A = this chain, B = another copy of it.
Amino acid sequence: MEFSLSPSEIIEIIQASTTRGSTTEMLHGIASLQAAHPGELSFLGNSKYKPEVAATAASIVLLPLDYVGEPKPNQLFLLLEKPSLGLARLCGRLEQMLWPKPTPGIHTTAVIAPDAQIPASATIGPLCVIESGAVIGERTHVQAQAFIGRKARIGADCWLKSGVKIATECVLGNRVLIHDGAVIGADGFGYEFVAGRHQKVPQVGRVVIHDDVEIGANATLDRARFSETVIGEGTKIDNLVQVGHNVVVGKHCLLCAQVGFAGSTTLEDYVVIGGQAGIAGHITIGRGCKIDGQTGVNSSLEPGSSVKGSPCLPYSVEQRINVVRKRLPELFKRVDALEEALNKPSANA
């Protein structure tokens, strides 16, 4: 992002234990030691990059307390126990600058049903639609062009980015962050095959998202058949993830991009799923399971399982298979040779 901070402002943000040297440069960027230019800040996050510190052109470098070298002219070293913590402090400050608190109020171009409940502390951006009976929480920020359906309920301190769609009667807790274009509450995919046609099974449930959930751009979470599709507290869902109807995701799970769920599956807490993995319907994934990227899970997993492959096997088994599978054509030849050797009369002569 674009910023401009003086060395003294940086010192105040970073809260370093010691400083070494000084710089007159205004700071306007963060970069790796190798890539940094004057006017940028860098950091030693991993001791293997220590040799790069002496060569960096960064104007400010965050370093661990035990770092012994001296800065160049017009270069400032900030020493602190954990440089990564100092970097986090700076990024936290930048985040506030990048996304400043919006002014509360309803944009004149938003289309708001007369009976929607919107507190004075909320911000409704331009060209949003908020339908009848919807309830918005305190300080919640609904960005441009978002859609909140009839009787949907959004908690406090949420942030719905541009073009987010929350369909009829869906429910969000507090501090839920939903990225642009995500769709919460489209119909589940359910049909009965009758007389040669797929007849729609009504999807009349809803989606319930608990506190502190984050949902990625263009992700889709379907409403339940007649009860609830649930995302547990603190779970983080990446872009383009598909959550089918009646799926129940536990607390503090991580679902990476493009993961897909068929319907009616339950995830217990602290499950981590790598990108593009697919989870079948009507199964249970136990607490703390780790599912590798592109994995296919077709049956329930015990708590603490770590799996990989499609269809999946225990991680270590799949890894061992992957070590040998490249030699599979050779194995066929070896078995051919063994058979030939055994069948040769001379072999046993």
- Which A positions have Cβ atoms within 8 angstroms of B? 1-2, 29-31, 35, 88, 91-92, 94-95, 98-99, 107, 109, 111, 125-127, 129, 131, 144-145, 147, 149, 151, 161-163, 165, 167-169, 177, 179-181, 183, 186-187, 189, 191, 196-198, 200-206, 212, 214, 216-218, 220, 222, 225-227, 234, 236, 238-240, 242, 244, 252, 254, 256-258, 260, 262, 275-276, 278, 280, 293-294, 296, 310-311, 313, 317, 320-329, 331-332, 334-335, 338-339, 341-342, 347-348
Contact = CB atoms under 8 A, between A and B. Distances in A.
B321 A329 contact: yes
A278 B256 CA distance: 12
Contacts of A198: 234, 236, 252, 254
A202 B92 contact: yes
Pairs of residues from A and B, 8 with the lowest C-beta to C-beta distance, nearest first = A95-B202, A186-B217, A91-B202, A183-B217, A111-B126, A220-B239, A179-B186, A129-B144
Nearest to A178: B186
Contacts of A321: 325-326, 328-329
Contact of A204 (B98, B201, B227, B236): B98
Contacts of A131: 144
A228 B299 CA distance: 40
Q: How many copies does the complex hold?
A: 3
Contacts of A258: 242, 258, 260, 278
A339 B334 contact: yes
A238 B331 CA distance: 39
Given A227-B30, A236-B191, A347-B342, A129 B111 contact: no
24 contacts: A91-B201, A91-B226, A94-B202, A95-B203, A95-B204, A129-B144, A147-B162, A163-B165, A167-B180, A179-B187, A180-B186, A181-B181, A181-B183, A189-B216, A189-B257, A198-B252, A240-B242, A275-B278, A294-B294, A294-B296, A323-B329, A328-B328, A334-B335, A338-B339
